[in-house]
Amino acid sequence: MRRSLIAAVALTALIVPAGAAQAAPPDTLRSAANGAGIRIGTAVDMSALAEDEQYRTLVGAEFSTVTAENVMKWEALEPTRGVHNYEPADRLVQYARAHHQKLRGHVLVWHSQNPAWLTEGDFSPAELRQILREHITDTVTHFKGKVWHWDVVNEIFNDDGTWRDTIWYRTLGPGFVADAFRWAHRADPAAKLYLNDYNNEGLSPKSDAYYALVQQLKAAGVPVQGYGVQGHLATQYGVPQTTLENLRRFERLGLDTAFTEVDVRIPLPADSAEVQAQAQGFTTLLQACLLAQRCVSYTLWGFTDRYNWVPGVFEGEGEATPLTEDYERKPAYRSIRDTLRLAG
Ligand code: 9MR
């Protein structure tokens, strides 16, 4: 009796992500994801978390991992050179701990949302490399032990597989990627270090570029551990069909995989066919995660249309998340939940 109890506890510890089970109310994405053995996440808008009680409750109830939508980006962490503002990010760290959630760190090296002092600074290559090194070391050290995954480099390739022309590539050449992973690993050896991009779900020139890069990094002993697929879809473009095949080839190189920013935007006004297509978009990516061997998490880039980046960027498009502005569940919510349940 006692032995089987111990065995049951041990088994539960193996299949349920640690700390996730007790905090998951029934009939949530979180409880369904626990059963399926993956983490479910969302990007978090820190103003909404502070001001909107319903939002705050849902982040804790529905998700087992969180990502800062903006407050861990360089312009937020170091708006003035040498003056750091970790406070909003630290609030998310505390929230995540209180709700037994993992934290995805987003993002260390990107071409966007960098502080003006950096982009307008006219630094030499040696100075810029030193600045990047300090940024990565300081940031990863500050959050050491609190971050599950770091998105180390974000959106470094164009869709055709060529290097994106950024301040990093232009000034430092492609070697900044290996440097970034090495510096991050040195500062927190336990954090899993990820590449991250959009339009890299399926087999494509862009994902081929990542595949070749991972081969090179691995051959050089660079600590790269994850391939992050953002998963920003749009109903008018359909769903990439080769996602599972793509995840598997990265897993064969020894990487974990994760969906990091999933949403499915719709040209407005949305008709019912598009609402169904949206649900399908979410579940097709989720099924690829569930069928892959090492896909550890599926993160939504926001879970309610009340706070969402899409209308500000894509004119005439929106409603990209599984909950309405009033927190009502859409077909997408039910499809994600039911797909997770069936896998459990
Ligand atoms: O959702 C973020 C939005 O609030 C910011 O204004 C925007 C600035 O570029 O970044 C958005 O998040 C992006 C993420 O950091 C990286 N992948 C694309 C996301 C959507 O643009």
CATH number at residue 294: 3.20.20.80
User: Token pair for residue 31?
Assistant: 């409880």
- CA angle at residue 125 from 119 to 131, to 5 degrees? 60
Q: Based on C-alpha coordinates, what's the Rg of the chain? A: 20
Give tens-digit pLDDT for 96-138: 999 999 999 999 999 999 999 999 999 999 999 999 999 999 9
Catalytic residue among 201, 261, 274, 319: 261
Q: What is the pTM for the complete model shown?
A: 0.93
**DSSP secondary structure, 105-122, as one string:** EEEEE-SSS--HHHHTS-
CA distances from 245 to 158, 214, 261 (A): 21, 16, 20
Supply the pLDDT for residue 24: 86
Q: What does the pLDDT average to over 180-199?
A: 99
CA of 46 to the centre of ligand 1 (A): 14
> Whose Cα sits closest to atom 21 in ligand 1?
309
Atom of ligand 1 nearest to the CA of 73: 15
Range of 281's domain?
3-343
For residue 7, pLDDT over 70 is answered with: no
pLDDT tens digit sequence for 236-247: 999 999 999 999
Q: How does 319-330 read in b/e, with b if 16+ C-beta sit within 10 Å?
A: bbbbbeeeeeeb
- pLDDT tens for residues 59-76? 999 999 999 999 999 999
- Nearest ligand 1 atom to alpha carbon 45: 4
Least reliable range by pLDDT among 14-18, 45-49, 262-266: 14-18
Q: Is the dihedral of CA 279, 283, 40, 37 positive or negative?
A: positive
The structural domain count of the chain equals: 1
Query: Would you call 261 a catalytic residue per the annotation?
Result: yes
CA 28 to each of CA 13, 21, 110, 324: distance values in angstroms, whole numbers, following the listed order: 20, 12, 33, 16
Sign of CA dihedral 257, 230, 59, 341: negative
Asked if residue 89 has pLDDT above 70, the reply is yes
- The tokens 């003056």 sit on which residue? 83
Return the best residue to mutate from 70, 112, 229 for the ligand 1 pocket (most ligand atoms within 8 A of CB).
70
The pLDDT of residue 23 is 59
Percentage of the chain modeled with pLDDT above 90 = 92
Which pLDDT score, from 0 to 100, does residue 6 have?
35
Q: Does an H or E element contain 201, and which?
A: none
Closest to 68 measured CA to CA, from 131, 145, 149, 184: 149
Distance, CA of 72 to chain centre: 12
- The dihedral over CA atoms of 51, 52, 53, 56, expressed in degrees to the nearest 10, equals -90
> What are 135-150's pLDDT values in tens digits?
999 999 999 999 999 9
Name the phi and psi angles at 259, rounded to 5.
-90, 125
Alpha-carbon dihedral angle through residues 308, 310, 311, 314, given to the nearest 10 degrees: 170
User: Which residue among the candidates 155, 201, 274, 319 is catalytic per the annotation?
Assistant: 155
45 CB within 6 A, ligand 1: no
pLDDT tier, 179 (very low <50, low <70, confident <90, very high otherwise):
very high
> Ligand 1 pocket: which of 152, 200, 309, 310 to mutate (most atoms <8 Å of CB)?
309
Collapsing DSSP to helix, strand or coil, 245 comes out as helix
Q: What is the structure's pLDDT at 10?
A: 38
Residue bearing the CA closest to ligand 1, atom 4: 309
Kindly indicate the confidence band of residue 12, based on its pLDDT and cuts at 50, 70 and 90. very low
> 3-state DSSP call for residue 59?
helix
